[in-house]
Chain A
């Protein structure tokens, strides 16, 4: 028996990104109904990585998507794309900051496991230390000459103010690892 799949998208989700995801999901299966509003008998899948939604997990609501290995792989590919083949750079994974900070540390480590990045550091967009400038400073102290800033984010535009991928440390670089 299949039940309708309902994506629960945060209000601020980019509508174009969401439409593309719905199209992609419908291509994967024609037995699952996809929507954005709660509905009776539906299985609700929140379009979030973690945080408070973890507590909402239950019979009709799936747990948050992070840190599914497929997402870790997708993050690694984003970093690879930004590096354009220069494998041994530092990656700085940036989480929103708040009640799920340790999860960012875990995902950063998962991103490092079995991959060629020189190191994977982590930082937080708000409310937690290290901030993005603090995190970049740490990378610099550790000898990084190139840093990929990688948002830990699904579709929500929470990182609109974050530096673009592939940015370099804000000041001159020293040393090497």
Chain B
């Protein structure tokens, strides 16, 4: 199900340009949740519901919450930031809503945050790690699996875990790592599976049909297609479409379809833990195989490459979007300039580097 383009404009802009308050900061810094964005209406609803869930959860600790998206759908990161600045915050803890760190978590989002810091003098931000194969994420994936497969049937069933896929070797290898971790976690939580095979919906092999073929050759009679995706969207839909087509040609296989992780408490708990890591002090990213930090075969030119924000319809990198009355209209030179941020920067080969910290 897709919303019709162009999207209805649902932005709520502050009446005046907010500026960073001169009052001393009070209470803990707010959580800025930064997601991807989707053209899928249920996916948009899951994101806004998840932001509300975190808002409720964190209110008990006196932590303010806002959520912004880097592309495809409102609200853009800049609106979420503006709202936090308008509410008197000096510093934000940005947590990327990403299951695997690739171009978005390593480049686009840090660049978008650098741009916001440039727009609001006096604003500082800390940046959290991506979720990765966090145990809470693995637990959530097993819950989605349980919804379509009884524990008693696990021993005879294979899972095809379908990730986003990337040109970034590190990101694809993290999906492979996640598949193995899921296999091992299943063994101690409900029973061993026959196997978990990684797959990718685009940009990397094996794709869904190829992974299903491969799993069938390994002897599978029951296969659960499990998306490594947070919310509903165009790509999760594509997984199901491709799997159904494959099923038509392989009727002897019992093929089942698990849901995306969705708006749930396990995910909220994982995000809260990432927020707490930033509060606790320098967060070290795992950079051993990050192409922006260390030369990887075929990607040596990426080391230290400046990063730019992703283009958002409500906050374009170049020129105007729907932008009349845009609050940055007074500052087009700034708005047009690509904000650059050396994701790699200087540093020893692949050494874990400290992510931006609160100042």
Residues of A participating in the B interface, judged by any CB pair closer than 8 Å: 63, 66-69, 72-73, 101-110, 113-115, 138, 141-143
Contact = CB atoms under 8 A, between A and B. Distances in A.
22 contacts: A66-B288, A67-B289, A69-B289, A72-B297, A102-B178, A102-B184, A103-B177, A105-B177, A105-B179, A106-B174, A106-B177, A106-B180, A107-B173, A108-B176, A109-B175, A113-B172, A114-B297, A141-B217, A141-B218, A141-B219, A142-B217, A142-B218
A106 B132 CA distance: 13
Interface in B179-194: 179-181, 184
A105 B176 CA distance: 6
B301 to A, nearest CB: 14
A141 B216 CA distance: 10
Centre residue among B181, B288, B294, B298 by max chain A CB count within 10 A: B288
Interface size class of B (residues with CB under 8 A): 20 to 34
Interface string B39-77: 000000000000000000000000000000000000000
A86 B154 CA distance: 39
Contacts of B350: 68-69
Interface in B105-152: 133
Chain A interface main SS type: helix
Given A68-B288, A102-B184, A113-B297, 4 more contacts: A105-B176, A110-B170, A113-B173, A142-B217
A113 B298 CA distance: 10
B296 A101 contact: no
Contacts of A107: 173
A141 B295 CA distance: 35
A99 B141 CA distance: 21
B348 to A, nearest CB: 10
B173 A106 contact: yes
Contact of B180 (A105, A114, A143): A105
B335 interface: no
A114 B218 contact: no
A90 B181 CA distance: 23
A110 B217 contact: no
Contacts of B296: 69
Contacts of B295: 69
A108 B289 CA distance: 13
B298 A114 contact: yes
A114 B179 CA distance: 20
Given A102-B177, A109-B198, A110-B289, A142 B214 contact: yes
A109 B180 CA distance: 12
Contacts of B169: 109-110, 113-114
Contacts of A113: 169, 172-173, 297
B217 A106 contact: no
Considering residues A68, A106, A107, A138, which has the most beta carbons from chain B within 10 angstroms of its beta carbon? A106
Nearest to A57: B352
Interface in B203-225: 214, 217-219
B237 to A, nearest CB: 26
Given A69-B295, A101-B180, A109 B172 contact: yes
Nearest to B297: A114
Contacts of B133: 102
A31 B275 CA distance: 42
B177 A67 contact: no
A143 B217 contact: yes
A145 to B, nearest CB: 14
